[in-house]
Amino acid sequence: MSIDPPLGLLAELTHRCPLRCPYCSNPVELARLAQELDTETWLRVFREAADLGVLQLHLSGGEPTLRRDLPALVRGAAEAGLYTNLITAGVTLDAARVEALAEAGLDHVQLSVQDAEAASADRIGGQAGGHAKKLAAAAAIRAAGLPLTLNAVVHRQNLDRLPALIDLALALGAQRMEVAHVQYYGWALANRDALLPTRAQLDAATAVVDAARAGLKGRLVIDYVVPDYHAERPKACMGGWGRAVMAVSPAGRALPCHAAESLPGFDFPNVRDHGLSAIWEGSEAFNRFRGTAWMTGPCRGCPRAEQDWGGCRCQAFALTGDAAATDPACALSPRHHLLAEAVAEAALAGSGFTYREPGRPPSPRS
């Protein structure tokens, strides 16, 4: 099978973060500072990524701005010919740091917000004053001449303020906005009952996005990522396992998606020991769910098999205990009922969070 190179590399530079978001996409077992790749190893990885054919580099975390070597990493990536996108919470950015990153060759910034209202945003993020720091960071980003995308992670506790979040994106000078419903694994799975929206909320949010896309055409591009729990067909997670994106964890594990460390029974190769090309093309972990040969019914032979690529392996494992199972987001899955049961259960739940805490992983859901 011919394997095309990945379009993007997600470099998770650190799991350290001053925020404690209850929907954090990091694994519940967070990598420590002593485990993080050093500067030279990351720079080698970036060069290998460019040689492999990667075009876009997404610098993420945790909070990537906690890396003191971030300007050097950006400069090295730019020199390798990669388009660099910084994914940040913004709470540790000031004008001087933003200017240094711009001078190093940073191409774009994706800034996350937890809500349009400061009190709610600070409660969700778990840091007093965090929202105000984000607004200041956005101003510094625009003053430095960097393109800005606002990333609004939405869920039951902020979804009703989606119109205000869109207004905030416009006020901050963002050219693009990502309205991303929480995806439920890791920390978000532990907080699913407090985060999962009702179907009425989802339908109202979709109508808001549709109207905004029409009314703001030419001013603001809105990407929309919907939750699978109200779906009849799964999404092609990360464009398909081992097809479009490679992620590298702070400790150097190469992953087909950033959540794949949640899956048992894998020996994910480490970039300390193997080159990116060998990992992408030859590792068992990347090839296990690549393509369609691994599929069983009802996925095998399905006319959508090469569209959704079986859906999300991490979600399949989180819900069924089997990473090779049909994603329950598909109506043809024998476990599809689990999603409706989760929605009904969440509708009766409270609003309290289990916050992201290093060294204190949440108890797994039964």
Annotated binding-site residues for [4Fe-4S] cluster read 17, 21, 24
- CA dist., res. 296 & res. 301, Å (int): 9
- The structure tokens 């730019």 sit at 78
* Whether 172 contacts 135, CB under 8 Å: yes
Distance CA 335, CA 197 (A): 20
Complete DSSP assignment for 111-168: EEES-SSHHHHHHHHT-TTHHHHHHHHHHHHHHTT--EEEEEEE-TTTGGGHHHHHHH
**Positions at the binding site:** 17, 21, 24
| Three-state secondary structure of 74-94 | HHHHHHCCCEEEEEECCCCCC
- CA 156 to chain CA centroid, nearest Å: 18
Nearest to 3 by CA among 218, 280, 366: 280
Chain centre to alpha carbon of residue 119: 24
